[in-house]
Amino acid sequence: MNAAEKLTVVDVYDLALEIGKEFETIIDANGVNAVSGLITKVVNALELMETLTCQNENENATLQELQEKIAQLEAEKEQKAASRSRYEKELEAIEDQWRTEAKELFNVIDKLQEENRKLQRGIAQSASESTNQSDERSRNGGTNDDFPNGSSMLEPEAGVLKKSEYKIQLSQLEEKLKRKEMELCEKMAEIESLSSQNDRLKKVVSESRRRQKLSHNQIITLCEERADFLAQIQDQHHEIKALRMQLGLAEKENEDLANRVNEDERPRFSTVELKEVLTDRNELKARVSDLEQELMTCQAIGSRTDSGSKSNVFAKNLAMKCPRWISANCPYKAHYRMNQMMHHGKRATKVALESSFASCSTKRRPIVRAFRNVHYRRSRKWHSHRDRIVIYPFKR
């Protein structure tokens, strides 16, 4: 039996698994396009090998069954021949024994017949002699009639003893024959019991073969299920890898979205709104400076008490009219810029504004003014639905 005949379906599945692992390494190294045409050919070859191995296994199973049946029939034939030869030998031995016993019996019968003849002749002779003697006695008138000859009286007794011995021997031979017949019946019963046991063993062997075939088929199905499970596990591993990659991309996208949301929550103004706010501020600054000059003139003209009361009233009115982030007592000349202003998710250009006021001094200091939830529209009204803005001084 060569290696091709020893190949089974399990070996084919193991070979397919190893080839699949090699293909995975090649795909990981070179990509799917490198082995896309080869995979179909290998799969077809493996399927053909699987069918051939199944046919080979079936043929081997049938061949093995036939060989077992042939061996069983040969064993039965040899057993029957041995039992037949044994029976023939036993029968020959019994026949020989019967022949010898029959010969002995015939010899004994012949001897007995000879002895009977001798006895009959002796009896006839004795009878003739006795008649002769009686005649002589009657003639002679002798007195010795009551005393017969001793030798003639002993011969019939010896014949009777021999007959009794022969009868005893015949009875013994009959008993032996009966015992042999009983032994032969026992042997036949043992042969019948052995034949019934042989039939039971044949049934057990056939049942064990059937179970072996079923177990072999179950092993084949389990190997197929194992190969399917391994293929499913590999597919699941690939799906898990793909899902992990998708998860990483989703996490990145979530981080980008979170950063974008945080950027959306940052304060932003459009360039137009910022310009409007700055122009309004410049106008208010100019107005404040004009009002300061008027206040100084009023203070010079009026009295100190009257001017003090008027100046307080005027300051209150000015504080009510001006926004909080403008200080009247803080003149300065500065350069402002707005860094990274956002509007509707778009990044506005940097706005660099240079404002100079006639009434402001050359003093520079950083100004950070914030107003929360305020939006100044063209209607010159402040609404609370915008975020805060932070203004930084421009550094030259």
Residue recorded with tokens 């520079």:
364
Under the banding of pLDDT at 50, 70 and 90, the label for residue 4 is low
What is the per-residue pLDDT for 46?
86
**Stronger pLDDT, 63 or 160, i.e. the higher one:** 63
Residue recorded with tokens 């399917």:
228
Cα–Cα distance, 9 to 13 (Å, whole number): 6
What is the per-residue pLDDT for 283?
92
**Stronger pLDDT, 54 or 164, i.e. the higher one:** 54
Residue recorded with tokens 């079923």:
214
**Stretch 247-264: mean pLDDT:** 79
Cα–Cα distance, 349 to 340 (Å, whole number): 7
Cα–Cα distance, 211 to 160 (Å, whole number): 76
Q: What is the pLDDT of residues 329-350, one digit of tens each?
A: 443 333 333 333 333 433 333 3
How far are the Cα atoms of 177, 195, 360 from residue 91, in angstroms, in the given order?
13, 20, 153
Q: Is the pLDDT of residue 284 over 90?
A: yes
Name the DSSP letter for residue 325: T
Q: Is the pLDDT of residue 40 over 80?
A: yes
Q: Is the pLDDT of residue 297 over 80?
A: yes
Q: Lowest-confidence range among 8-17, 115-124, 260-269, 316-325?
A: 316-325
Angle at 272 between CA 270 and CA 278, to 5 degrees: 105
* Backbone conformation region of residue 141, classed left if phi is above 0, alpha if psi is from -120 to 50, else beta: left
Q: Where do the domains of the chain lie?
A: 3-129+152-246, 267-393
**Stronger pLDDT, 333 or 202, i.e. the higher one:** 202
Q: Which residues pair with 383 in a beta bridge?
A: 375
How far are the Cα atoms of 91, 189, 320 from residue 240, in angstroms, in the given order?
84, 74, 67
What is the per-residue pLDDT for 285?
92
Average pLDDT, the chain: 71
Q: What is the pLDDT of residues 339-386, one digit of tens each?
A: 333 334 333 333 333 343 333 333 333 333 333 333 333 343 444 334
Nearby residues of 365 by Cβ (< 8 Å), 6 or more positions away: 332, 393
Q: Lowest-confidence range among 50-64, 138-152, 191-205, 371-385?
A: 371-385
What is the per-residue pLDDT for 286?
92
362 three-state secondary structure: coil
Cα–Cα distance, 229 to 233 (Å, whole number): 6
What is the per-residue pLDDT for 150?
44
Cα–Cα distance, 211 to 158 (Å, whole number): 79
Q: What is the pLDDT of residues 76-92, one digit of tens each?
A: 888 888 888 888 888 88
Q: Lowest-confidence range among 102-111, 121-130, 134-143, 197-206?
A: 134-143
